[in-house]
Structure 1
Amino acid sequence: MNQEASETTALMRRAQKKPPTPLPKLQLGIIMLTLVCGPIAAGSIYPYVNELVSELGITGSDERRAGYYAGLESLFYVTQAMTVLQLSSASDYVGRKPTLWMSLFGTSLSMLCFGLSRSFWMLVVTRCLTGFSNGNLGIIKTALADLTDRSNQAQAVAFLPIMWELGSAFGFFLGGQLSQPQRRFPNMFPGTFWGHYPYFLPSLATGSFVGLVGLLVLLFFKETAPHKKRPIWDGLDDPNGHISISPPSTPRSLLQLFTFPVMISLFNNIALSLLNIAVVSLVPLFFAMPITVGGLGLPPQKIGSAMAIQGVAIAGFQLLFFAKITRRFGERAVMIAGLSMFPVIFGLMPVISTVAQQAGQSAAVWILVAFLLSLNILPDMCLGVVWMFLNASAPKESRGAVNGLGQTAVSVARAIGPALSTSLFSLSVERNLLGGYAVYAILGAISVGAVILAMRLPRELWEEEDL
């Protein structure tokens, strides 16, 4: 028995040394396009949502209260968290392809309805529908695993954060450049429709793009899920012509997964996601609010352009330097350094506000804004690193469950972050807490706690023997 196991192990090791399997480029390209749809749908409303809320009159003409209602961005992630596990499980039974294209078409339709909404409650309903239909990140990662093997998986996974940032940048660009088209391009958009629905065009562009990707999935994506459960083979015949079968490992119960490696990785994932989405939500609000209430008074076009440039810069940096920096300094050091940027970000925003109140939208303000946006490069590197820690902490037979826990926790954190940050902003300026800057003090304190939490991570990725 030991001899058979040794021979099997040796054969598997020799098999692992073969050249990487070529990636299925068309199928992988379609999967990457489906990944882009999520951040586009999530981020396209950020440049104009504060202006939209103010124009609907639900703030009572008090611009300081816009942050309370702009927190409807959280609804996307709240409802997404409710469907992540369900959609992923459904893909095991009906297949990856139908669950993917149905979720994409649902997202497309809900974005169109969002652009036609003229009341706060209609915005709430349509944003919830967008989140419900967009809980497909688990399917995307599962399909990616179906399409790759151990020899080429890292090569494919390296594109995940890059595509996410490009999707976010594209979403910010669409939301900023296409809002209020009649006001900006009256000759191209005449009539009363565009005046009554000034934010339908970015929703139309976003919904059309997502719908087109859904059509590509329907027509060209090949199903990757197996039709039925099969035993786990090692894939190699022994010298006597028999096929060796490795019995599947029994997955651990949910309670058994609550080990220190899993929990510390999970908590770091939650902290990073909470702070990351808090910044993504707070920065556009900070840009949009009038200088007199602690903002910069920028229009949606400038907000969208600035955040789109940031997204492209982050994606380029990830592509060129992520692997080199991680190898040079280690995953733990990258995680600590990235989280350490959040206290600086929250500390810099009141400084920019003070300069703007004294000098307006001067060159000094724009230099500080550029510095502020560049600080997000390191925290975004942590998104890949924390995923590596989470996967390394998971027992082999329960990696799906651990990743499911992680994705659900991330969705919940992303649901809390926008409402927390934007509501704290409005509360701070409305009641003049710490001169209107209490939001930055509170989020700064949370980010310091996140840095301390990251220090509990090991210097190297978790080893299976430790589990």
Structure 2
Amino acid sequence: MSIFPYIYYMIKSFEITNDDRQIALYAGMVTSAFAFAEFSTGALWGVVSDKVGRKPILLTGMAGTGLSIILFGFAPNLTTALLARALGGLLNGNIGVIQSTVAEVVKVEAHQARAYSIMPFVWCLGTVIGSGLGGTLANPVKSYPSVFLPGTVFDRFPYLLPNLVCAAVVLFGLIIGILFLEETHEDKQNRRDPGLEAGKWILSKFHRTSPEELLLSDKTSFPEETLSLLDEDTQPPEYRSTESSPGLPAKYDLMPEVPPSSLGPIRHPVLVRSTLAVKNAFTRQVLLNLVSFAILAYHTITLEQLMPVLLSMPKSTQPPSLPFKFTGGLALSTEHIGYVLSVQGFLQMIIQLFLFPIVNKRIGSLNTFRLVIFCYPVLYLAIPYVTLAPENLRMACVYLALVCKVTGQAFSYPSASIMLANAAPSRKVLGTLNGVAGSGASFSRAIGPICAGMIQAAGLRLGYLGLAWWASGLVALGGAILTIWMKEEKRLPSCDGVPTDEEAGTMGLVMESTKA
């Protein structure tokens, strides 16, 4: 988020084109480079996290992000900027893995809305800090000439400073993750973690408890916590849609018990069980959720790209020809844009933390999702007309548009995550499903800015500022119509839809015996 306040001016400093109308296209390419690379590896990181655990993948993603940020700050041209962003995307599969981690930690359906609002809340916090840093620290030689002198590295690379500060924040988060982040994958929780042991040792220096006692207390408290959560899970669900929908069918109930001795040798039953789980994971509702999530990612990333460009573009000198033909932006500075985007993040934090859980509890995740998804097309239709508002009302209209924007994001993304987690027939495949969801969303975020940039460049040549906005509105309308066929599944306990070890072994034997 820290690049959005200055991306327009950074692209302009590369002197690629003298036509300001083309800058949106190149800005879209920079935005897309990260997402397209993330798309190419997102599903792979999800599968790997199912194999090696969540923590190693999360730490790898953070390290890759930090390296990418530093390289981006040193970018002297568009090619280097694109490569730096692509490197960050290749090494970062954290979105899907984080969603899997949340699903594994939260075992009570009534706690889902609050839990799934935490990640967007943290994202909003990053938006506040990142946008503020990006807008305030960009081109420091020009903004703070008494501190950053001409001829220094910050003069040659005017957008290095905000990236260095962001890289320092990422490094701090990486250290915290190594020392204190616990593994949530149920098959990997008991393995030795030297980083966690070092963190316990550090904590022991501030407490009278020894590191061994801290580690032991964590291990012994886990079963009690799980038992408590499972007990609570028997309560009536509170975060469900009022719309009735059938539960997922049990996939293994009809499998007859077959004596293992009559079936011949066992050939990798664990592998067979894993293959079956993944094969059965993509139910109709799961597929609808995945497609809906990809569409949501497409039009919201175009919104993220088009808004700063609209704020940065020079004002039009041509009179409008209403209702559709008009051009021009608001000509705000990087500092002002950073402030606006920081306010946007702060508003989203408040909505995410306090309003979303209340609405979700009352009407359910699916209805919450539908509530905002049908409002997006109207928002895309209206935003370009902000530039036509009277001078003294323009910023008020901008903030009103931002309130609508952040409300939509605060409601839609956690609702989509909850619905996908509940639609999954097994927790065993959450990493894979969230990896696929993240990969699909990354592909949408890759093509979205490029398409929006091309459409906007064409629209500006023709005199239609709103063309890219209205095109995104049509995509959002398609995503809204798709929700008509979506149903809200009741969350399954961890054992539902997943064969026990004995059942999986029997199933593996049956399948292998038919091949023999």
Q: TM-score by structure 2 length?
A: 0.71
Mapping of residues 343-354 of structure 1, within 5 Å = 343-354=377-388
Could you say which residue in structure 1 is the equivalent of 2:333?
299
Amino acid in the other structure paired with 1:389: M
Could you say which residue in structure 1 is the equivalent of 2:374?
340
Could you say which residue in structure 2 is the equivalent of 1:418?
449
Q: Note closer, same or farther for the CA distance 1:415–1:399 as it changes in structure 2 (3 Å cut).
A: same
Q: TM-score by structure 1 length?
A: 0.78
Tell me which stretches of 4 or more aligned residues in structure 1 moved more than 6 Å.
463-467
Q: Are residues 1:216 and 2:240 paired?
A: no
Deviation of 1:426 after TM superposition, in Å, equals: 1.5
More deviation in 445-454 or 173-182? 445-454
Mapping of residues 309-388 of structure 1, within 5 Å = 309-355=343-389, 359=390, 362-380=391-409, 381-388=411-418
**Taking every aligned residue pair, what percent have the same amino acid on both sides?**
27
Q: Note closer, same or farther for the CA distance 1:211–1:295 as it changes in structure 2 (3 Å cut).
A: same
Q: Note closer, same or farther for the CA distance 1:431–1:401 as it changes in structure 2 (3 Å cut).
A: same
Deviation of 1:263 after TM superposition, in Å, equals: 1.8
Could you say which residue in structure 1 is the equivalent of 2:486?
457
Could you say which residue in structure 1 is the equivalent of 2:164?
204
Q: Measure the CA separation in 1 of the matches of 2:408 and 2:399.
A: 16
Deviation of 1:149 after TM superposition, in Å, equals: 4.6
Q: 2:458 aligns with which of 421, 427, 431?
A: 427
Could you say which residue in structure 2 is the equivalent of 1:117?
75
Q: Measure the CA separation in 2 of the matches of 1:377 and 1:166.
A: 13
Structure with higher RCO (Cα < 8 A, 6+ apart):
2
Q: Aligned residues, how many?
A: 404
Q: Are residues 1:170 and 2:204 paired?
A: no
Q: Are residues 1:283 and 2:307 paired?
A: yes
* Structure 1 gap ranges (5+): 1-42, 237-246
Deviation of 1:182 after TM superposition, in Å, equals: 1.1
More deviation in 371-380 or 81-90? 81-90
Q: Measure the CA separation in 2 of the matches of 1:365 and 1:85.
A: 43
Q: Measure the CA separation in 1 of the matches of 2:312 and 2:296.
A: 25
Native 8 Å contact 2:124 2:349 kept in 1: yes
Native 8 Å contact 1:103 1:136 kept in 2: yes
* Structure 2 gap ranges (5+): 192-222, 228-268, 317-326, 498-516
More deviation in 158-167 or 79-88? 79-88
Q: Measure the CA separation in 2 of the matches of 1:108 and 1:399.
A: 27
Q: Note closer, same or farther for the CA distance 1:410–1:189 as it changes in structure 2 (3 Å cut).
A: same
Describe the SS at the equivalent of 2:375.
helix
Could you say which residue in structure 2 is the equivalent of 1:66?
23
Q: Measure the CA separation in 1 of the matches of 2:371 and 2:182.
A: 41
Could you say which residue in structure 2 is the equivalent of 1:13?
none
Q: Are residues 1:448 and 2:477 paired?
A: yes
Native 8 Å contact 1:285 1:422 kept in 2: no
Q: Measure the CA separation in 1 of the matches of 2:54 and 2:476.
A: 37
Describe the SS at the equivalent of 1:291.
coil
Please provide the CA RMSD for this pair.
3.0
Q: Measure the CA separation in 2 of the matches of 1:258 and 1:145.
A: 17
Native 8 Å contact 1:296 1:353 kept in 2: yes
Q: Note closer, same or farther for the CA distance 1:336–1:228 as it changes in structure 2 (3 Å cut).
A: closer
Mapping of residues 248-259 of structure 1, within 5 Å = 250-251=273-274, 252=276, 256-259=280-283
Deviation of 1:120 after TM superposition, in Å, equals: 0.9
Amino acid in the other structure paired with 2:83: V
Larger gyration radius, structure 1 or structure 2 = 2
Cα deviation code 1:59-95 (max 9, x no counterpart): 2x11000011001101111111222233344445555
Native 8 Å contact 2:32 2:445 kept in 1: yes
Q: Note closer, same or farther for the CA distance 1:221–1:457 as it changes in structure 2 (3 Å cut).
A: closer
Native 8 Å contact 2:96 2:431 kept in 1: no
Q: Note closer, same or farther for the CA distance 1:443–1:220 as it changes in structure 2 (3 Å cut).
A: closer
Deviation of 1:331 after TM superposition, in Å, equals: 2.5
Amino acid in the other structure paired with 1:209: V
Q: Measure the CA separation in 1 of the matches of 2:455 and 2:86.
A: 22
Describe the SS at the equivalent of 2:289.
helix
Could you say which residue in structure 1 is the equivalent of 2:97?
139
Native 8 Å contact 2:34 2:89 kept in 1: yes
Cα deviation code 1:296-331 (max 9, x no counterpart): 111111111111111111111111111211122332
Native 8 Å contact 1:430 1:436 kept in 2: no
Deviation of 1:178 after TM superposition, in Å, equals: 0.9
Mapping of residues 75-114 of structure 1, within 5 Å = 75-92=33-50, 95-114=53-72
Q: Note closer, same or farther for the CA distance 1:333–1:138 as it changes in structure 2 (3 Å cut).
A: closer
Describe the SS at the equivalent of 1:375.
helix
Q: Note closer, same or farther for the CA distance 1:103–1:160 as it changes in structure 2 (3 Å cut).
A: closer
Q: Note closer, same or farther for the CA distance 1:437–1:102 as it changes in structure 2 (3 Å cut).
A: closer
Q: Measure the CA separation in 1 of the matches of 2:457 and 2:179.
A: 47
Describe the SS at the equivalent of 1:415.
helix
Q: Measure the CA separation in 2 of the matches of 1:327 and 1:227.
A: 33
Q: Measure the CA separation in 2 of the matches of 1:453 and 1:330.
A: 18
Deviation of 1:268 after TM superposition, in Å, equals: 1.6
Native 8 Å contact 2:99 2:434 kept in 1: no
Q: Measure the CA separation in 2 of the matches of 1:101 and 1:257.
A: 27
Q: Note closer, same or farther for the CA distance 1:341–1:312 as it changes in structure 2 (3 Å cut).
A: same
Deviation of 1:386 after TM superposition, in Å, equals: 1.2
Native 8 Å contact 2:72 2:81 kept in 1: yes
Native 8 Å contact 1:180 1:198 kept in 2: yes
Q: Measure the CA separation in 1 of the matches of 2:406 and 2:188.
A: 42
Deviation of 1:215 after TM superposition, in Å, equals: 2.0
